[in-house]
Structure 1
Amino acid sequence: MDDVSDRIDPARAWVAVAVTTVAALVAGALAFPRQVYDGFLWQYFWGPVVADGTGSACAQRVDGETLLLDSAADCQQAMGIVAEPGYTRLSTITYALVLIFALVGVVFLLRRLDIGRDQGLFFALFPFMLFGGALRTVEDASIAMLRETGEPAISFPLSALFISPFIYFTVFFVTLGALLLSVALARRGPLDRYEYPLAAIGTLAFTITIGYLGWLAISTEVLEINPGIAIITLVGATVVAALAWVGTERFVPEVNVATGYMGVLVVWGHAVDGFANVLSLDWSEELGIPTYSPKHVVNSAIIDITGAVQPESVSEAIGTAWPFLFVKVAAALFVVWVFNDEIFEESPQYSMLLLIAILAVGLGPGTRDFLRATFGI
């Protein structure tokens, strides 16, 4: 048994599983379109994106045709296969499994390319996390224009590339292409390190996306520019990250031993998410931005608990979302502390990729949240 396992290349096995799964889904959809495509792929994965991208209350699949319904009442009365914007339990579990499977595949790729053992990959991918959050804001802007003018900035189905969860695949493949191109330039071209072109491509993608949002704000009346939101969020997150670094270095320096400045960036990214949520939820009226509702389950629970135990006068003065910032920073510090030298020594590429994912989980949504408020979406 051990001889057999030793002969199996894990990377080749991963590719075989991926190809087999895709082939099985395609074959099943062609052979049994009602059961496999309509009742599974469309209902749980593509249908919700169709409803979201078209600004519909839901989408209905009838005799191989897609119908768009504009009211919740029509959706409740609809028979057969109906898909609403958002996630279901099945789709959430499936996407989680796909994410884990993809992370394993990326680890195999990093090992094959013999990269990702040091901090260079972490910092080079930082602009792509900002790019992902900004790209999701583009879809928010497009939906806002659809509701105000009847015409989206980006028409469906192209807009599906920017809708969650498909946007994660879009950012992933853009990042993967940039990584492969950068490695090729470093090994076959005039560059010494792949990290420089990789960071440059990510920065360019983020800059173009921000430029497009700025153009929409200038050329339309749907968007506006509130630079104070971005300034408060970014400066506040920077101050919090600096205080966290100074405090841990003085009192518990072992927290930063393995991660160094990577840990600072992880704390900063989650502080951005914390500040963006606090400003959007508690200070929207004072800042002159649209009113938002909490999207995180944890955030909603924190708001409910704070509102219950905090005096009403205090809640009216400072709001109830502020503990979310401290929870985010504390959680980030705990994660940074967990990443010790032993973890990086045992599996450097996997550990580095996992730390990158942890930063992206905070910075991606945080970037989207403060950009939405900045552009009044």
Structure 2
Amino acid sequence: MSTVTRRVETALPETGSREWWALYLLAPPVLIGAGILAFPGLVFDQFIWQYLWGPVVADAASEPVMHEGIRAVRGYNAVNTVTYLAAVVYSLPGLRVYLDQLDVTFDARLAYGFAPIIIAGGAMRALEDIGLLGDYAVWFITPSIYFVVTAVTVLALGIGALARDRNTGSIPSTVGLIGSVWAVGAVGWVLWYGLSTSTPLRLWVPVATTGIALGATALYYWGASFVNVTHLRHPLILLAVFGQLWDAAQNLIGVTFLGYSPKLVVTNLVYQATGFAGSTFVLKLVVTVGIVWYLADAKEEMNHTWWWLMTFFIGAIGLPMGVRGSLRMLLGA
């Protein structure tokens, strides 16, 4: 061990202490802030603007944007992809400690409590697509929206823990209530906009997409009863199946009846190769069943928290996409 390393370790507070966690959480923003003050052209203009914030602004403007002579274009690039991944990885230890401090129980009730927040995120993305968020649109574009939804979720968990400790509620019910208020408000905004502007509402679209997803999930549940894999009908797995099939259903309706094309690269390639409007639905169904079969079979051997996170993540990918697509098509956007 070098002398410099030894001196740094001696100067650092004890691992796991409040001071250590304060340093862990404050170090990135302090370093970035110091870098911007010392080298604004290099740190902000040529890094943060060009590769991180600029692409988000360009996405909101639907065209390339300029700042200090530096051009930023919408979409992902190698720099922001690696940066976002590093930010997620760096945040995981702190998030795990936060959840441990709150004594969160990872069960089906918590997953279903989270669902309204995920749905609200999809509705807010639809509001941005429609152009209703104005200057706030940059906060509801990928990846900004993930940080917003995460912040709301973390805050809701804290409020839920306070309610539980005071015997006035539970974490799942509190998180679900906060998410439901947000989701109802966002969806209500979409409907209000459609009605107030006399925009023709395709009410049959959300009815059809939700109905197809529910029907397909019911068929999955019925089919799973004939297979000797106990956890195939676990409530969390049913949520994952429904979330993915809702996304598949909105793709099916959009491609078959409204002239849309699948947005994801893989599903669009399959659609272009087959020319079959239901290709995305079939692909999602097959892949989803394969994944949940593996998860159901591995539940007893896998760490519970890891299994919960993986299973919930499958549904959390599909739910907002189903909401976003259904609301966009509702208004013809």
Please tell me the TM-score bracket, short chain as reference.
Answer: 0.7 to 0.9
Q: Secondary structure at the match of 1:181?
A: helix
Corresponding residue of 1:283: 257
State whether structure 2 residue 244 is matched by structure 1 residue 304.
no
Q: Read off the aligned partner of 1:239 and give its amino acid letter.
A: G
Corresponding residue of 1:70: none
TM-score by length of 2: 0.88
1:341 CA drift (Å): 7.6
Identify if the C-alpha distance between structure 1 residues 282 and 292 changes in structure 2 by more than 3 Å, giving closer, same or farther.
same
Instruction: String of CA shifts for 1:209-266, please: whole Å, max 9, x gaps.
Output: 1111111111225x4421111111111011111111111221343451xx61211111
182, 193, 196: which is aligned to 1:205? 182
224, 228, 235: which is aligned to 1:261? 235
Corresponding residue of 2:98: 109
1:161 CA drift (Å): 1.7
Identify if the C-alpha distance between structure 1 residues 376 and 252 changes in structure 2 by more than 3 Å, giving closer, same or farther.
farther
Distance in structure 1 (CA, Å) of the matches to 2:277 and 2:22: 44
Corresponding residue of 2:4: none
Distance in structure 1 (CA, Å) of the matches to 2:163 and 2:305: 21
State whether structure 2 residue 204 is matched by structure 1 residue 234.
no
215, 224, 239: which is aligned to 1:248? 224
Corresponding residue of 1:361: 317
Contact 1:274 1:324 in 2 (8 A): yes
1:296 CA drift (Å): 0.4
Identify if the C-alpha distance between structure 1 residues 110 and 341 changes in structure 2 by more than 3 Å, giving closer, same or farther.
farther
Corresponding residue of 1:88: 77
1:13 CA drift (Å): 6.4
Distance in structure 2 (CA, Å) of the matches to 1:165 and 1:19: 22
Distance in structure 2 (CA, Å) of the matches to 1:58 and 1:167: 20
Instruction: String of CA shifts for 1:40-66, please: whole Å, max 9, x gaps.
Output: 10111111222222x25211122xxxx
Identify if the C-alpha distance between structure 1 residues 298 and 18 changes in structure 2 by more than 3 Å, giving closer, same or farther.
farther
User: Matches of residues 31-46 of structure 1 in structure 2 within 5 Å?
Assistant: 31-46=38-53
Distance in structure 2 (CA, Å) of the matches to 1:9 and 1:41: 31
User: Matches of residues 169-184 of structure 1 in structure 2 within 5 Å?
Assistant: 169-184=147-162
State whether structure 2 residue 219 is matched by structure 1 residue 219.
no
Corresponding residue of 1:376: 332
State the aligned residue count.
322
Q: Read off the aligned partner of 1:139 and give its amino acid letter.
A: E
Distance in structure 2 (CA, Å) of the matches to 1:343 and 1:28: 46
Corresponding residue of 1:287: none
Distance in structure 2 (CA, Å) of the matches to 1:344 and 1:38: 50
117, 123, 133: which is aligned to 1:154? 133
Identify if the C-alpha distance between structure 1 residues 341 and 294 changes in structure 2 by more than 3 Å, giving closer, same or farther.
closer
Instruction: String of CA shifts for 1:162-193, please: whole Å, max 9, x gaps.
Output: 222111111111121111111101112433x2
User: Which ranges in structure 2 are unaligned for 5 or more consecutive residues?
Assistant: 2-8
> What is the root-mean-square deviation in Å for CA atoms of aligned residues?
2.5
Distance in structure 1 (CA, Å) of the matches to 2:305 and 2:298: 13
Distance in structure 2 (CA, Å) of the matches to 1:245 and 1:16: 48
Distance in structure 1 (CA, Å) of the matches to 2:204 and 2:123: 17
Q: Read off the aligned partner of 1:200 and give its amino acid letter.
A: L
User: Which ranges in structure 1 are unaligned for 5 or more consecutive residues?
Assistant: 63-79, 143-152, 285-290, 308-319
State whether structure 2 residue 57 is matched by structure 1 residue 50.
yes
1:122 CA drift (Å): 0.9
Distance in structure 1 (CA, Å) of the matches to 2:330 and 2:268: 22
Corresponding residue of 1:334: 290
1:15 CA drift (Å): 5.9
269, 278, 284: which is aligned to 1:322? 278
Q: Read off the aligned partner of 2:287 and give its amino acid letter.
A: A
1:98 CA drift (Å): 2.6
Contact 1:107 1:353 in 2 (8 A): no
Corresponding residue of 1:314: none
Q: Read off the aligned partner of 1:88 and give its amino acid letter.
A: N
1:372 CA drift (Å): 0.7
Distance in structure 1 (CA, Å) of the matches to 2:300 and 2:87: 24
Identify if the C-alpha distance between structure 1 residues 174 and 268 changes in structure 2 by more than 3 Å, giving closer, same or farther.
same
Q: Read off the aligned partner of 1:279 and give its amino acid letter.
A: I
Contact 1:111 1:349 in 2 (8 A): no
Corresponding residue of 2:88: 99
Contact 1:281 1:321 in 2 (8 A): yes
Distance in structure 2 (CA, Å) of the matches to 1:250 and 1:13: 53
Identify if the C-alpha distance between structure 1 residues 323 and 11 changes in structure 2 by more than 3 Å, giving closer, same or farther.
farther
Q: Read off the aligned partner of 1:154 and give its amino acid letter.
A: L
TM-score by length of 1: 0.78
Distance in structure 2 (CA, Å) of the matches to 1:36 and 1:263: 44
Contact 1:110 1:349 in 2 (8 A): no
